[in-house]
Amino acid sequence: MVTLVTGATGFIGGAIAKALRDRGDQVRGLVRDPDKASALRELGVELVRGDMEDLASLKRAVEGGVECVYHTAAVVGDWPDPAHTKRVNVDGTRELLE
């Protein structure tokens, strides 16, 4: 079984990916920049370059036997742009589910 973790380079997503790998699960991480995900790569996480605003990358991320998704990717911050936040947090989540 393959488990997808979105936001895998973030604090929560990274912790989930590590815990899953520690127990022996096959983990795929959706990351915007694989060069910044060397720690995940070293753990054995399969990296998929993508973004919550890129439908094609979401489709690639769930291909090939993904049975479980931990969705932790999100726009956060004190003053995020409302339109960008909606595109990522609402529309991107909807696309991922579909």
Chain segment 14-71, per-residue pLDDT in tens: 999 999 999 999 999 999 999 999 999 999 999 999 999 999 999 999 998 899 999 9
What is the pLDDT at residue 92? 96
pTM over 0.85: yes
Phi/psi at 30 (5° precision): -85, 115
Q: Which long-range contacts (CB under 8 A, 24 or more apart) does 23-29 make?
A: 25/1, 26/1, 26/2, 27/2, 27/3, 28/2, 28/3, 28/4, 28/61, 28/66, 29/4, 29/5
Question: Can you give the pLDDT at residue 43?
Answer: 96
pLDDT of residue 3: 98
pLDDT at 50: 95
The pLDDT of 86-96, averaged and rounded, is 96
